[in-house]
Amino acid sequence: MHAKSAEQQIDPQWQSAAKIMVAAEEDHTPGSESCSRHAECLKAKVAWCTSQSELQLVSARLLEIQESERRRIATDLHDVLGQSLTMIKISLEESLLLLAGNETEVAAESLRRLTYKVKDALGELRRVAMELRPSILDDLGILATLSWFFREFGTVCQDIEVEKNFSIDEKTVPVPLKITIFRIIQEATSNIVKHANASRIRVSLKKTGDALHFSIEDDGVGFDFAETVNYCPLDKGLGLLSMKERAKLSGGHYELASAVGQGTRISVLWPLDMASRAL
C-alpha cells in the first residue's frame, strides 16, 4: 500500500471528527453544563481518531518500508555476497584441477589468493548482519554499541561533528530497552543525514533521578512541525512516527521540538520502573 492511499483512508476520520465538533458548537448552548460534558466527550473522540489515524499511517508505511528493506537485503546478498561465493567456488575448482595435474605450487598460490576472497565475503556477511541487529549489543551492551555506531558514523559522515555524553552505567539500562534506544538513534541520525543539512549532532544518555533520559539534537535546517504533521516525505514521516511509537511502547515520554532554521531536538524520558514493566 502506498503512503498516499493510506492517507486517503485516514482523511475521512479527520473529516468526521471535524463535523462532530461543528455540530457540537451549533447544537449546544455555550456555557451550559451539558455542552461542557459533550465537548469533553467530543475531544476524547477526536483524540481517539487522531491516535487511530497515526496507527494506520504507521502500519501502512511500515509495511512498505519493510518490503523495501527486504529488497535491499536481497540485493546485497545476491550482488555482493553471491558474487563473492561464486568467485570462491570457481577458485576452488581451479585449484582442484591444478592439484589433479600435480601443479602443486600453482595450486597453493591459487588457494592463498582464495583466502582474501573468503575474508571479503565474511566482511560482507558481518556488515549485513550488523545492519539487521548488531551482535555487539548482546555481547557488550548499549554503551559499547553506541561507541561503535558513532565511530562508523564518523567514518562515513566526516563533515558532521558528534558530541556524545553517555554518563550512565551499563547495568542501569534495562536489557530490553537497549535495542529501543539503538533503533531510535539509528532513525534520528538517518533523518539528520537525509534532511537536516547539519554540521553538529549532540547526543546524550543519562540517568536523572529514577528515570533514564535520552536526547539527540542537531543544528540543521529544522522544519515546521505543523506542516510535517499533515504531510512529509515517506522516509522522514515514518522515521518520526516510528521513533514516537518505539518510545511510547517501551514506557517512555517522547518529545520533539523543531523550527525552521533552528534545528531539531528529540528527547525521551523513561521512568525506569515503568520501562521495565512495559518491556
Residues 232 and 7: beta-carbon distance below 8 Å? no
pTM to 2 decimal places = 0.62
Over range 26-49, report the average pLDDT.
60
Strands 253-258 and 211-218: unpaired
Q: Supply angle C-alpha 61, 67, 69, rounded to 5.
A: 100
Report the chain's terminal Cα–Cα distance, integer Å. Answer: 30
Instruction: Read off the C-alpha cell for 130.
Output: 550488523
Out of 67-71, 118-122, 205-209, 258-262, least confident range: 67-71
User: Which amino acid belongs to residue 27?
Assistant: D
Question: What pLDDT, in 10s, does the model give residues 152-187?
Answer: 999 989 999 999 999 999 999 999 899 999 999 999
Please, which contacts does 199-202 make with residues 24 or more away whose CB atoms are closer than 8 Å?
A: 199/159, 199/160, 199/161, 200/160, 200/161, 200/162, 200/163, 201/160, 201/161, 201/162, 201/163, 202/162, 202/163, 202/165
How many angstroms separate the CA atoms of 266 and 254, rounded?
A: 8
- What percentage of the chain has pLDDT greater than the value 90? 35
A 10 A CB-CB count for 87 gives: 15
Higher pLDDT residue, 276 or 222? 222
Q: What is the pLDDT of residue 263?
A: 94
Question: What pLDDT, in 10s, does the model give residues 212-250?
Answer: 999 999 999 998 876 665 545 444 556 788 888 889 889
Is 70 strand, coil or helix?
helix
Q: What is the pLDDT of residue 19?
A: 52
Find all residues with CB under 8 Å of 35, minimum gap 6, and list them.
24, 28, 29
Over range 201-220, report the average pLDDT.
95
